[in-house]
Amino acid sequence: EAGVVQSPRYKIIEKKQPVAFWCNPISGHNTLYWYLQNLGQGPELLIRYENEEAVDDSQLPKDRFSAERLKGVDSTLKIQPAELGDSAVYLCASSTPPGTRNNEQFFGPGTRLTVL
Amino acid sequence: AQSVTQLDSHVSVSEGTPVLLRCNYSSSYSPSLFWYVQHPNKGLQLLLKYTSAATLVKGINGFEAEFKKSETSFHLTKPSAHMSDAAEYFCVVSDGNTDKLIFGTGTRLQVFP
């Protein structure tokens, strides 16, 4: 069974440019997460979806970040415009809904963003 | 609020010697605790989890962790390190209501031949 798929794996852009990351969760996983991982730090949650609904986006910087999960499957995270401080790894994870049995979060390999 | 503190940013061991990665937690109620491992250019992988059952939790690849409420600790151990264990390890606590994961800052494990 395929795991969580993310693309691209690496992205280099100049500041003020837009960028988008794509995530395909494990089949049947209704819950999808986007995390930000700065160098030398643990991941921090940006947004959590239950199907197509964003149920926790309190940590998402809404002035420049946006996300969508149309049809409750794939998801896209966008930054516009990108800033130097956005250089980091963006991780996607998926799971069965909170409270369900054995709902482990499975992580994708991440997208490493470098903003020049 | 829940939080975890990983006491060592780097740990170096020789192959075949024991591994100890230390983690203390803070939680206002009985927590769910996890250890994840992150190899370079790979996704985070769950090693083990504690969810108020047995205090000694066995995970994959020979790792185990013991939940000690009196010490608010959840240290990760392995009797004998292997070269393939070299990676970044994260101690994680979960918000029990939403399953939101709160990660520590990580411990980089180096294994020398």
Q: Which residues of B touch A3 (CB under 8 A)?
A: 43
User: B32-38 and A5-7: which strand pairing?
Assistant: unpaired
Residue B53 touches partner A, C-beta closer than 8 Å? no
Instruction: Determine the Cα angle at A25 with ends A20 and A27, to 5°.
Output: 150
Residue A41: both structure tokens together: 């730090």
> Does A91 sit within 8 Å of B43, measured CB to CB?
yes
The answer to whether the bond into A98 is cis (omega within 30° of 0) is no
| Residues of chain A contacting B, Cβ within 8 Å | 3-4, 40-45, 48, 55-56, 91, 93, 95, 98-99, 103-110
Distance CA A12, CA A92 (A): 19
3-state secondary structure chain B: CCEEEECCCEEEEECCCCEEECEEEECCCCCEEEEEEECCCCCCEEEEEECCCCCEEECHHHCEEEEECCCCEEEEEECCCCHHHCEEEEEEEECCCCCCEEECCCEEEEEEC
What pLDDT does residue B96 have? Answer: 66
Q: Which residues contact A89 (CB under 8 A, 6 or more apart)?
A: A36, A37, A110, A111, A112, A113
pLDDT in tens, chain A (116 residues): 679 999 999 999 999 999 999 999 999 899 999 999 999 899 999 999 999 999 999 899 999 999 999 888 999 999 999 999 999 999 999 998 767 766 789 999 999 999 99
Highest mean pLDDT among A66-75, B24-33, B94-103: A66-75
Which residue of chain B has the CA closest to A48? Answer: B100
The dihedrals phi and psi of B54, each to the nearest 5 degrees, come to -65, 140
CA distances in angstroms from A112 to A11, A91, B46, B89, listed in the order given: 6, 9, 21, 19
Higher pLDDT, A35 or B28: A35
What pLDDT does residue B12 have? Answer: 98
Q: Reply yes or no on whether the pLDDT at B15 is more than 90.
A: yes
Q: Which residues of B touch A23 (CB under 8 A)?
A: none
